[in-house]
Structure 1
Amino acid sequence: MGKKNLSNIEISEYLSDMWAPLNEDQRKFLSNNYILQNYKKNEIIYDEEETPKYLMCLLSGKVKIYKDGVGGRSQIIRMIKPVEYFGYRAYFANEDYVTAAAAFEPSILCLIPLEVMTKLVSENCELAMFFIKQLSIDLGIADERTVNLTQKHIRGRLAESLLFLKESYGLEEDGYTLSIYLSREDLANLSNMTTSNAIRTLSNFASERIIAIDGRKIKIIDVEKLTKISQIG
Structure 2
Amino acid sequence: MTNTDPDIRRKAEEIIFGMWDTLTEDERKEISEHLTIEEFQKNEYIYKELEIPKCIKWLISGKVKICKSGVTGRDQILRTIVPSEIFSFRAYFANDDYLTSALSFGHSVVASVPMTIIDKLLHTNIQVCRKLIKQLAIELGKADSRTVSLTQKHIRGRLAESLITLKNSYGLEEDGYTLSIYLSREELANMSNMTTSNAIRTLSSFATDKIIAIDGRKIKLINEEELKRISENG
* TM-score (ref. length: structure 2): 0.96
Paired residue for 1:160?
161
Most deviating of 38-47 and 7-16: 7-16
Q: Which residue identity lines up with residue 30 of structure 1 in the other structure?
A: I
Give the RMSD, CA atoms, in angstroms: 1.2
Q: Secondary structure at the match of 1:3?
A: coil
Map of 1:4 onto structure 2: 4
Say whether residues 1:145 and 2:146 are aligned partners. Answer: yes
Contact residue 52 and residue 88 of structure 1 kept, 8 A: yes
Would you say the 8 A contact 2:13–2:32 is kept in 1? no
- Find the aligned partners of 1:125 and 1:142 in 2 and give their Cα distance: 26
Give the C-alpha shift of residue 11 in structure 1. Answer: 3.6
Q: Percent identity?
A: 58
CA contact (8 A) 1:12 1:19 kept: no
Cα distance per residue 1:173-195 (max 9 Å; x no partner) = 00000000000000000000000
Partner of 1:4: helix, strand, or coil? coil
For 1:62 and 1:94, locate their aligned partners in 2 and report how far apart those are by CA, in whole Å. Answer: 27
Q: Could you tell me which residue of structure 2 aligns to residue 106 of structure 1?
A: 107
1:15 is matched with 16
1:1-233 to structure 2, matched below 5 A, reads 1-4=1-4, 6=6, 9-233=10-234
Local SS of the residue matching 1:49: coil
| Structure 2: distance between partners of 1:112 and 1:62 | 19
How far the C-alpha of 1:73 sits from its partner, in A, is 1.0
Q: Which structure 1 segments of 5+ residues have no match? A: none
CA displacement at 1:16 relative to structure 2: 3.6
Residue 188 of structure 2 aligns with an amino acid whose one-letter code is: L
Asked if structure 2 preserves the Cα contact closer than 8 Å seen for 1:5 and 1:34, the reply is no
8 Å CA contact retained: 1:156, 1:231: yes
Distance between the aligned counterparts of 1:178 and 1:43, measured in 2?
A: 22
Q: Which moved more, 1:18-27 or 1:40-49?
A: 18-27
Separation (CA, whole Å) in 2 of partners of 1:104 and 1:210: 25
Deviation at 1:9, TM superposition (A): 4.2
Alpha-carbon distance, 1:18 to partner: 3.3
Contact 1:19 1:27 survives alignment (8 Å): no
SS state of the match for residue 32, structure 1?
Answer: helix
1:2-34: CA deviation from partner (whole Å, max 9, x where unpaired): 332757743442224434110111111111111
Query: Could you tell which deviates more after superposition, 210-219 or 2-11?
Result: 2-11
Q: Are the equivalent residues in 1 in contact too, given 2:60–2:109 (CA < 8 A)?
A: yes
Contact kept? 1:5, 1:35, Cα under 8 Å? no
Question: Retained in 2: the 8 A contact 1:6–1:36?
Answer: no
Q: Matched residues in 1 for 2:171 and 2:95: separation?
A: 35
- The answer as to whether partners of 2:17 and 2:23 remain within 8 angstroms in 1 is no
Question: Number of aligned pairs?
Answer: 233
Structure 2 residue ranges without an equivalent (≥5): none
